[in-house]
Chain A
């Protein structure tokens, strides 16, 4: 009985520990620096409780759901031995998870506002909408492509640093040519594409592939898909800014 309670409470306690730094920072700045009482204290306590429960459930779900399915699919594709289907799956996963990503939709809308105020596009609802949609598809396409390249890399065992450094050089060159108003958005778009559900799945897929292919090391070769998925959008968004 006692053991069961500990088993139940331990993950909750872990999540509380994860959240503790934020609580500390907010309390310190509110009380010491701004010297104000904390507003809506009961609401904050209920919210914090929800966050703790949510994080606990999420971690449990990762371990029994997202990680196993990602790995199982990696093994299944490796056994099947069909490169075409594996690459198509990678592309679909990258494109499908990105195109509907709420953070990306928000960034694309802001980017359209910036482009309109800079005079790059006509300042009307339709032209802003079409600019934002175009940008979204561009980013989703680039993430799909990143996963295809990343999966190829795991299969062939290419060192990740050559791809990343090559990509950086691409980013730097593009920065020289892209219109000024798109640069900040392009740099930020790399960070917003990878959502909380995509990251565990893609990581499990990469690690699963690297451990099921002979001669690959899951630590050296398994990671890196997320890095590529954060890099290609920068290049593609700048290219989009140049073409439009």
Chain B
């Protein structure tokens, strides 16, 4: 129990250090440049305190509960003994279909961690408020989470098959560019943003464990060179799915309108 409290305290101190530069910049500019009283200062400070406390609880909870299990699972699922049943059954040449559970796990863990990602929640709340409810919090989060799930599954396939990362990323960029031409104008900036917000507190540690586990056990891959790149997939695909979500709703609205 004491150890537990100690852990919370340590994480809280780390979080304070993360927030310190931000607070210094905000209050510095507020006092020296804007030179006006901050509206509802007490409430804002309370808000900062809640954010600090909330993030500390959140991180400790993740480190205590979800990360150990998730990382262990990533390790077990990528273990050749699990994939081929026993050590003797490991073939000389692997086939990418042997890793089917890894792809399914990658998609599922990508989807579910994205739903819980606090920064995505923040952007989704803002988008709902700004769009007057036209973009729902759950709609945006589901679209983004589907994108991350697809991206990470494809990323694990890339590690298993050993194909170069930049081919995938460049093809993804081309799809994003084509969609940009056809997607409703109002969604474009939000779709681009959703690429960057997906990967933070929850997703990065689990996805990194998966990538490194895979790259270090698949024969012929190096953890150093092939373990990277999953985050890039996770930031690219949400742009595609969010624009697709907007295109789909527009298409449905149009079809209903013409009936």
- A→B interface (CB under 8 Å): 18-19, 21-22, 24-26, 28-30, 33-34, 38-40, 43-69, 72-73, 76-77, 80, 85, 89, 92-93, 96-97, 99-103, 113-114, 117, 160-161, 164-165, 168, 171-172, 175, 180-181, 183-185, 187-188, 190-201, 203-204, 207, 217-227, 229-230
Contact = CB atoms under 8 A, between A and B. Distances in A.
Contacts of B118: 55, 58-59, 196
Contacts of A229: 196
Interface centre among A59, A76, A188 (most CB of B within 10 A): A188
A68 B62 contact: no
Given A197-B19, A217-B186, 7 more contacts: A26-B70, A54-B59, A57-B51, A57-B57, A80-B34, A93-B22, A184-B229
A39 B4 CA distance: 18
Interface in B10-35: 14, 17-19, 21-22, 24-26, 29-30, 33-34
Interface centre among B14, B59, B195 (most CB of A within 10 A): B195
A29 B38 CA distance: 49
A21 B125 CA distance: 20
Interface centre among B18, B45, B113 (most CB of A within 10 A): B18
B36 A76 contact: yes
Given A54-B59, A226-B193, A66 B231 contact: no
Given A50-B64, A191-B196, A65 B57 contact: no
B96 interface: no
A28 B30 CA distance: 50
B244 interface: no
A47 B196 CA distance: 27
A26 B69 contact: yes
Interface residues of B, number: 104
Contact of B193 (A50, A52, A101, A227): A227
A114 B229 CA distance: 14
B54 A55 contact: yes
Closest 8 interchain pairs by CB?
Answer: A65-B47, A47-B65, A54-B58, A61-B50, A57-B54, A54-B57, A50-B61, A184-B228
B44 A69 contact: yes
B58 A62 contact: no
B231 A191 contact: yes
A200 to B, nearest CB: 4
A192 B54 CA distance: 21
B192 A93 contact: no
A230 B231 CA distance: 11
Contact of B186 (A28, A171, A219, A226): A219
Nearest to A188: B231
By secondary structure, the B interface counts as helix
Contacts of B101: 33
A62 B57 contact: no
A183 B47 contact: no
Given A21-B112, A85-B33, A64 B58 contact: no
B252 to A, nearest CB: 20
B123 interface: yes
B53 A44 contact: no
A76 B25 CA distance: 15
Contact of A225 (B115, B125, B193): B193
Given A80-B34, A223-B193, A50 B225 contact: no
Contacts of A103: 200, 204
A66 B45 CA distance: 9
A49 B61 contact: yes
A72 B39 CA distance: 8
Contacts of A195: 18, 119, 200
Contacts of A25: 105, 108-109, 111-112
B130 A222 contact: yes
A187 B231 CA distance: 8
A45 B17 CA distance: 28
B122 interface: yes
B56 interface: yes
Interface string B184-214: 0110111011011111111010000000000
Given A54-B58, A187-B169, A21 B34 contact: no
Nearest to A98: B21
